[in-house]
Structure 1
Amino acid sequence: MSPDTPPTILTVFFDFRRIARGTRAEVLDQLRRRDDPGPYLVFDDQTGAQLDLDLRELPDPEAEHRDEAPRGVGRPKLGVVAREVTLLPRHWDWLGRQPGGASVALRKLVDEARRVHADRDVVRAARETTYRVMTAIAGNLPGFEEATRALFAGEEQRFGHLIEPWPADLRAYLQELSAPGWSHE
């Protein structure tokens, strides 16, 4: 994790109640103080990915700052990590003719695409994050399929109406996760 990257924030549900939120160490500490039996559903707020936490883990403040990517070829002090890219020969030929070579050309192309498509990427990420959480925790709730359709159709009011009967903590969390997707349209 780079110094500019905020720590990963996790949200934990027991049944449909939000019972913990914070960094991994904070969440582990909060869960250790609880006396309910679990199971807990733990979500990464950024991606909506469901995580498994081992409550026997001791909080490790340094763990939030460790880079989990394997170190290999590249410039580690600059955060450069070598990865494989598969392109057709004509793509490699074009990249080879660009000033600065293939790496510089690819970085420029990626930066330009990120700039041009930033709003669209925010909308897509918010919807995918919300969908992951909905699927994990709300798949059996009434109106799930219609709420999913409304989410991906960009119908904010309809989405809100469809999840209105759902438990309050879950509804609030889904509205929070989906909010960036509505504000960029």
Structure 2
Amino acid sequence: MDTYTAFAGHVRIATGPLPKVALVLKHAAPTTAPITIFSDRTGHPIDLDLRGSDREIVARLPADAGAAADPPASEPRGRGRPKLGVVAREVTLLPQHWEWLNAQPGGASVALRKLVHEARRANGDNDRAREARDAAYHFMSAIGGHLPQFEEASRALFAGDLERFAARVADWPADIRDHAVALAHRHRAD
């Protein structure tokens, strides 16, 4: 389940699943500091509507927030193949690529799924490292772009030098520094 972190200015208020963070914010003491909520997976800030009752707030949370809302009522299943989350999108390939794909057992869709699965397995560590780096960068750009040594910290982050990155953010406010470093190192714990 995705986690989110809320800050009041430079102070971390809450971390956890979105419903928990939203309700902590709803019931927190008022503050004049700007409140910002970040997705720990992407590092991007998100907006929440905290008006109304706890139940109303949780019901309005985005659907991709895991178990944020009550599960939808089960719809009766019609005839045909079950919906397995398959999404049709356009893929542009050269004719020889389509010929090869169509000649594979199961056709183009099965071959593409196998190729994607194999690539994800083979590149998983690199993908997780890139996602962690990008999340750390998005977070620190949104909340700490004005902080000292931001540019040097960014260069170290993109160079993959996490020791130098930690050294460059060492003088930042503790909660921002700790969260940026945790996001950058996140792929190692996955």
**Shorter-chain TM-score: what band?**
0.7 to 0.9
Instruction: Give the structure 2 partner of residue 23 of structure 1.
Output: 17
Q: Within 5 A, what are the aligned runs for 1:1-185?
A: 6=1, 8-34=2-28, 35-56=30-51, 58-60=57-59, 63=69, 77-181=83-187, 183=188
- Measured in 2, the distance between the counterparts of 1:85 and 1:130 equals 31
Alignment TM-score, normalising by the size of structure 1: 0.83
Identity %: 51
- Measured in 1, the distance between the counterparts of 2:101 and 2:109 equals 8
- Measured in 2, the distance between the counterparts of 1:113 and 1:64 equals 35
SS in 1 for 2:7: strand
Alignment TM-score, normalising by the size of structure 2: 0.81
SS in 2 for 1:43: strand
Count of residues paired in the alignment:
170
- Measured in 1, the distance between the counterparts of 2:87 and 2:70 equals 19
SS in 1 for 2:132: helix
Q: CA RMSD in A?
A: 2.1
Please identify runs of 4+ aligned residues in structure 1 that moved more than 6 A. Answer: none
Structure 2 unaligned residues grouped into runs of 5+: 60-66, 73-79
Structure 1 unaligned residues grouped into runs of 5+: 1-5, 67-73
Deviation of 1:75 (Å): 5.5
Deviation of 1:86 (Å): 2.1
